[in-house]
Chains A and B, each alone.
Chain A
Amino acid sequence: MPTSPTDPGGAGASAGAPRPRRADLDPRGPRFGAGITAVLLLVVVFLSLIGASAAALSLLAGLAVLFAWGAFAGAGRHPWGLLFKRFVRPRLAPPTALENPAPPTFAQGVGLLVTLVGVVLGLAGLAPAVGIAAAAAFIAAFLNAVFDYCLGCQLFLLLVRAGLLGRGPRDAR
């Protein structure tokens, strides 16, 4: 599902070698992982809808742990990422460009927040919250996997605009 080699004219094909950074990622890795996560989140939604609340809650808690792993250890060390490196990437053509791991890592943190809210509310006895949190996280993971949409990038910019992230001059308009 790589979307990459569409750029006509081959930007940077000749002398314009992109500066290499150390821990850059094959952008297909996080997308592959988001696909697995999306399917599992869909299972949570299904379990929650048929009333299997305990199973839904346990699976969502497991996914929250995985999000925490990605958020704290970095998107490059996520279990799905290791799966991708071991089994998927050797079968693919080399990536046309590498990506900064910061956005997918930030997105893992957002996923952690959403799933954690679902788990906490579920533990507090609010069973529908598990399904709702899973549905919200599913939409983000699905858009990431299928459309290469970067929710982390979007939220980061909006948080910067709201003045909650980054530091700007105080005389901002």
Chain B
Amino acid sequence: MDPLLALGGVLALVAAATLLGLAWRARQDRYTTVVEAPALTPADLASTVSFGADATLVQFSTEHCARCPGTRTMLANVARSRPGVVHIEVDLTHRADLARRFQVLQTPTTLILDRSGRVRERVGGAPHRAGIIAHLDTLPGSLHANLPH
């Protein structure tokens, strides 16, 4: 092949990879509102930790996940700073059934459960703290503003 043409092919490959990357990035930290989800219990998540009185942050991880530890630190921090909010991390490495049941296609994936254990929001990719806080604030019956101390 003519070297110039080959160079064009190489540039096209770089362009295609860039488009792929942009498409992937656009889907990160994107919230999906879940309607009419059934109420979950900790047993559904193979968790021994009780759900939060106000909300529960369920984080799906695997052992091979670069961003899960950072997300764990952030979500645990949010849970510590807000009474009534609990963070639960579910390792899917040995629980393929949970990965399929909750249709987890990337890690981390985080579910925000309300006080009754229903999934209200779902976010794929590493979320930002501000987004999590904002969605916790919009949960029905959020007592965050006037909690007794």
Residues of A within 8 A of B (CB): 6-9, 11-12, 16, 18, 27, 42, 45-46, 49-51, 97, 99-100, 102-104, 106, 135, 138-139, 142-143, 146-147, 149-150, 152-154, 156-158, 160-163, 165-169, 171-173
Whole-angstrom CA separation of A33 from B33 in the bound complex: 38
Chain A residues whose CB sits within 8 angstroms of the CB of B82 once the complex forms:
none
| Complex contact B129–A103 (CB within 8 A) | no
9 additional contacts (CB under 8 A) given A138-B13, A142-B18: A11-B129, A16-B80, A49-B6, A50-B1, A99-B66, A100-B63, A146-B21, A157-B106, A160-B96
Which residues of chain B are near A27, meaning CB under 8 Å? 66
Asked if A16 contacts B73 (CB within 8 A), the reply is: yes
A138 to B97 Cα, complex, angstroms: 33
Q: Can you list, as one digit per residue, whether each of B107-134 has a CB less than 8 Å from chain A (1) or not (0)?
A: 1000000000000000000001110000
Within 8 A of A (CB), among B1-32: 1-3, 5-7, 9-10, 13-14, 16-18, 20-21, 24-25
Q: How far is the CA of A118 from the CA of B9 in the complex (A)?
A: 19
Which residue on B lies nearest to A149, using beta carbons?
B24
What is the distance, in angstroms, from B27's C-beta to the closest C-beta of chain A?
A: 11
- Are A154 and B106 in touch, CB under 8 angstroms? yes
**Set of chain A residues within 8 Å of B14, measured between Cβ atoms:** 42, 142
* Complex alpha-carbon distance, A161 and B43, angstroms: 20
Q: Closest CB-CB distance, B8 to chain A, in whole Å?
A: 9
What are 7 contact pairs spanning A and B, CB under 8 A?
A18-B69, A153-B64, A153-B66, A156-B62, A156-B64, A161-B100, A163-B96
A103 to B6, CA, bound (A): 33
Contacts of B66 in A (CB 8 A): 27, 99-100, 103-104, 150, 153
Q: In the assembled complex, which residues on chain A have CB atoms less than 8 Å from the CB atom of B18?
A: 142, 146
Chain B: which residue is nearest A161 at the CB level?
Answer: B99
Residue-by-residue, is B53-66 near A (CB-CB < 8 Å gives 1, otherwise 0)?
00000000011111
Q: Is B50 an interface residue (CB 8 A)?
A: no
Q: A3 CA to B6 CA in the complex, in Å?
A: 33
Inter-chain CA distance A55–B69, complex, in Å, is 42
Contact B97 A16 (CB under 8 A): no
Neighbour of A157 across the interface among B3, B21, B67, B105, CB < 8 A: B105
Q: How far is the CA of A153 from the CA of B100 in the complex (A)?
A: 16
In the complex the two chains form, what is the Cα distance from A42 to B62 in whole Å?
A: 31
Question: In the complex, which of the residues B17, B67, B92 contacts A160, with contact meaning CB atoms closer than 8 Å?
Answer: B92
Instruction: Give every chain A residue within 8 A of B7 (Cβ-Cβ).
Output: 46
Instruction: State which residues 126-149 of B face A: CB under 8 Å.
Output: 128-130
A46 in complex: contacting residue of B6, B20, B69, B96, CB < 8 Å: B6
Are B77 and A16 neighbours in the complex by a CB distance under 8 Å?
yes
